[in-house]
Structure 1
Amino acid sequence: MKTFFFSAATFFATLFFVQNAQAQKADQATFEAFLKQVYDAYQSGDDNAMWAFYTDAASEIAPDGMLSSGKEALKASWDQFMKMTDGRPSFTYKLTSWRSISPDVALVTWDSNADIKVQGQQVGGPSSCVAVLHKTNGKWKIEFDGMTPVMQMPSGN
């Protein structure tokens, strides 16, 4: 009888861990695909496609530390930024972590490298990024995002 219970417990534990591992892989693929769609929209020049990935109440902390709240404020900030740049920025990115907080809320982080020029000077570079995603009507949308420029720390004495 003990052998039966041990075998059953082992079976269900294995089943649980396999399902969780598969779910984690599905989440990774889901969030990698989401980032690809978002960055493709940014780089396409179709701002309406880009803003479709944000909730109406979305907020962002930009690399300069400025907080924008609401999609209209984000649009105004983006338009102001684009007027300063020499052309449309290009990005590379890599998902670094993801975590489901609930079935419809997730926290994702990624590394990004931006090619952004203002008056011929490179102002882009590497950033660590974070977003809180909210699933509405079956689609993930950005509720909050932030970008922190990666800067070299001065060496010690």
Structure 2
Amino acid sequence: MYVAFDHLPPRARVWIYQASRPLDEAELVQVLPRLAAFAEEWTSHGQQLAASAQFLHRQFLVIGLDEAVAGASGCSIDASVRFVRELEQHLGIDLLEKSRMAFLTEGQLQLLNRRELRDAITAGQITADTPYFNNTLTTKDELTTSWPAPAGQTWLASYFQQQPS
């Protein structure tokens, strides 16, 4: 069953998928009914799941699930990945490719692979204080309180410790 994302409890499980490019307004409007339909129809072993799906920052698909109502099974997670693949094809974007990291620099999302990240740190374009979208977060509470977070306070901290002061 569909639940508005802001009505999911803090402990709700989330999956974050980063798009290869930002969606424009028309794409966002067009995809909203698909997101709601997926959440409404998503089941686990025939049991309705209390779920939601939305795009944040025009570039991140976030699927949320209140596991207190019912938890996701392997089959239901497979169904969600199939849905994400369908969205990829429909929108002409990559959502499952995970080699690029997202940073907020000068109000814009910047996607970097590891080599580009090292170069950007060396050049001073990315610092330990640069907001980083850690897409490995697993709860709505983490999403609300720590996304984005200063890069130096995430698993990327070691990248900044290697830099000379």
User: TM-score band (shorter)?
Assistant: under 0.3
Which one has the largest radius of gyration? 1
Larger relative contact order (Cα-Cα within 8 Å, sequence gap ≥ 6) = 2
* TM-score normalised over the length of structure 2: 0.22
